[in-house]
Amino acid sequence: MIKNYVNLAKCLKSAKGATSKDSSKANSSLNELYDLFMQEKGLYLKLGQFLNQYKSDVNYSEKVIIKSDDIDINFKSIIAKVLEENNLETINDCYIMGSIGLVTQVKDSKGQLLALKIKYPNIDKNIDNQFKTLKNLLKVTPIPISKSNFDKDYFLANLYHNITNELNYKREYSNSLKIKEIAENNNFLTPAGYQEPTSNSVLISNWVDGINLGKNIEFDKASSEKIATSILSFFHDSLFNEGFIQVDNQEDNYIYSKTSQRVYMVDLGNCMHVTKEQRTAILRIIHSVQNNIDDNFLELLSKVGFDKKKLEHIEEFLAPLMYAILAPYVSNIKYDLKNYNIGSIVDNILGDKKWWFRLSGSPEFFSLMRSFSLVLKTLKSLNIQIFFRGNLKNIVSKNNQADALSLQVGKRDLAKYFQSKADNLNIRIIRNGDEKVNLTLPSTVLFELDSFLSPDTLKKIEKSGGDIKDVIRKAFQNQLMSGTLLNLKNGNEQFIITLN
């Protein structure tokens, strides 16, 4: 137990250093953090998997590959016994570390290539101890909002449930059967075939030869579009029509086979059900922001899984927040995810009030959000523009769409966001009296305003006392109403940003 306290202290120290503006210090802290994840596994390695934005910085895909010499002698004997009992033979000396077990390539007596997944010894007990330590620390850890009534026990119980779900490989096998049923409607994406496990600790599936989407390999445009359309279609179908989704659907869990021209899903241990009420409410929110309808977003989000009383503290921001988060679905054309980031959207719009949003959502909802954000991250890696709005309309059944439109919600007496919202964002740069830039964009892109300005322009604005994040935040606080957001001079240059 003492070891867990020491490790958590190291984790917190390295996590703080990872955010340093000093790149060398940040890089050193990140590597210390991930070395700890690899050493301790369980909850720690799961955290490493969650920090997707840092994986490329620490060569994550290389760190998780180990040789047999690096494996504990007791675990080696367990692996040898499993190989013998199942008449299997290893192909190479490489093992891939997961949060609860190792994966390696093997072949059976017929020469068929398979993936063998084996749990770490004592991982169940180790995770229990890690959670006990975390629970004790949370008892004395202050929450950013003292009156938030944040239920730490409930949060931990759900986090524990999500992670320990993966400890039972029989459950992963069961998940694969459900996912396979959904995938039968899609002739391009399917889970790798699993053998029915005889224990909770060993899982055997077909080995899929192909390109792991986490390798950041560039595909030709046609292949990228096919892969992206397939992944998004499957996500929409599994979420809105079937109510059963894979949570850990990051790039590493998709493999594209050039031979069969199919995308295979792997690592199905963490899946979740989404209730009819939740998915109907989400569809209703999407429909409302697509059609500029001032709906009761407070009640709709409570149906999705938010604490209504906590959300009331930021109710005035809910419409613009939903509008920005769902920007890919609002667009009437293919959407470029290059500058899209949910975390930045929440930070830019809510500022310090972001904690009301983060603490009011249920753990189940944030698992759903994790699934959604990882799908977007995977799609972004394909470097292709995607028509989200059209895909959703084509995939979601007409009955489910009709249910969303007929969903009964009460009315709220609030300022009408969509009635007052400006349509366009205008950026002008004047140099020596001559207009050098006059760019008009949809107001929906305001949350990513800094991506439309060059680093040099951003520096000049900052030098003149401007703060782009503050400009974005105040614009959303003012319900995106028409007006001047920024008008600054820097020597012979003038920067003007308006909504109209």
At 481-490, the pLDDT tens digits run 888 988 888 8
Helix or strand (DSSP H, E) at 84: helix 73-85
Tens of pLDDT along 125-182?
Answer: 777 777 777 666 666 555 554 444 555 665 666 667 667 777 788 989 999 999 988 8
Q: Report yes or no: 380 and 340 within 8 Å, Cβ to Cβ.
A: yes
Span of 24-33, 72-81, 216-225, 273-282 with lowest mean pLDDT:
24-33
Mean pLDDT within 363-382: 89
**CA 226, CA 113: separation in Å to the nearest integer?**
27
Residue with tokens 């899903």: 265
Q: pTM for the full model?
A: 0.81
CA 343 to each of CA 8, 12, 180, 427: distance values in angstroms, whole numbers, following the listed order: 24, 20, 32, 24
What H or E segment, with its residue span, contains residue 73?
helix 73-85
Residue 436 burial (10 A CB sphere; 0-12, 13-18, 19+)? exposed
Spatial CA neighbour of 410 closest among 274, 319, 292, 303: 303
Helices (H), 189-262: 221-236
CA distances from residue 167 to 99, 122, 181, 385, 487 in whole angstroms, order as listed = 10, 11, 23, 37, 57
The count of other CB atoms within 10 Å of the CB of residue 110 is 6
